[in-house]
Amino acid sequence: MKLSQFFIFSFISISLFECVNSHQALKYNKLKLPSGVSGPESIAFDCNGDGPYTGISDGRILKWQGSKHGWKEFAITSPFRIPKFCNGSINPAMEQVCGRPLGLKFNEATCDLYIADAYFGLLVVGHNGGVAKQIAISAEGVPFRFTNALDIDQNTGIVYFTDTSTIFQRWAYAIAMQTGDKTGRLLKYDPRTKEVTVLLRGLSFSNGVALSKDKDFVLVTETTTAKVTRYWLQGQKSQLSDTFTQLVGCPDNIQRNIHGEFWVAQNNLNTKTH
């Protein structure tokens, strides 16, 4: 792997687009969320290039409309959400009611937004937003406990996504990490058959997902073991997995750019050898 093909960002703040140190921060813009709003996870741009969109801690998905109009509510993932109780909430105990949208990705052909919600599984909502439709909540009879991130094959519409744990929900993420939980899964959803397939199991806090430019493999970050695992989709190694890279910190999301390079967000750095 060439060094120029792999990049790492380390974030210590959950403010959208805030870089970790003051020297690098001068090179980046920062979009401030509305007052009383926190917890942006991933970002996405729609099929027209508008956005970004981001999911926040109170269960809403917001859309940026430019500096003149700012942010507006675009969608929600929970049919039980009550704005009076949920708006502005940072209480993890409320997430099961309000929703907690994490992974976001648009299907460029349909303009539908696919959402990985920690409590409500895999969902989809049309380009006009609103209440997202739940499309998958389990695989092989095992319910999702912590749906986390996703990526889409824009040619086939297949969605690759993670279930971080089959035991712990998002509110108990610290326990999952402290106990070394290894029940995470990498899965795929086929919109044509509406079937969910388990590609990998036994992962250590499976988190971010990114499909390669040639669509011959998909990467998944394993947070507690500080590594990125590769699952081969094509070629002689099809259906096999290997370690793509070992990191010096805990990876969260991973994104591929138009050149086929991968960017990894890390939530901390350490000097431990894994």
Can you tell me the distance from the alpha carbon of 178 to that of 134, in angstroms, rounded to the nearest whole number?
31
Helix (H, G, I), strand (E, B) or coil at 151: strand
List Cβ neighbours of 59 (8 Å cut-off, separation of 6 or more). 76, 77, 78, 81, 86, 89, 95, 98, 99, 100, 101
Task: Compute how many other C-beta atoms are within 10 angstroms of the C-beta atom of residue 123.
Answer: 24
- This prediction has a pTM of 0.89
Q: Long-range pairs for 212-219 at CB < 8 Å and ≥24 separation?
A: 212/256, 212/260, 213/256, 213/259, 213/260, 214/260, 215/153, 215/155, 218/151, 218/160, 218/186, 219/244, 219/254, 219/262
Out of 2.120.10.30, 3.30.70.20, 2.60.120.380, 1.10.3720.10, the CATH code matching 38-242 is: 2.120.10.30
DSSP letter, residue 4:
G
Q: Which residue matches tokens 């870089």?
A: 19
Instruction: Return per-residue pLDDT of the chain as tens, 274 residues.
Output: 333 244 444 433 333 443 345 555 556 778 899 999 999 999 999 999 999 999 999 999 999 999 999 999 999 999 999 999 999 999 999 999 999 999 999 999 999 999 999 999 999 999 999 999 999 999 999 999 999 999 999 999 999 999 999 999 999 999 999 999 999 999 999 999 999 999 999 999 999 999 999 999 999 999 999 999 999 999 999 999 999 999 988 999 999 999 999 999 988 755 443 3
User: Domain spans of the chain?
Assistant: 38-242
Tell which residue, 262, 246, 245, 244, has the closest CA to residue 254.
262
Tell which residue, 143, 214, 137, has the closest CA to residue 183.
143
Q: What does 51-117 look like in DSSP terms, one character per residue?
A: --EEE-TTSEEEEE--TTT-EEEEEES-TT--HHHHTT---GGGHHHH--EEEEEE-TTT-PEEEEE
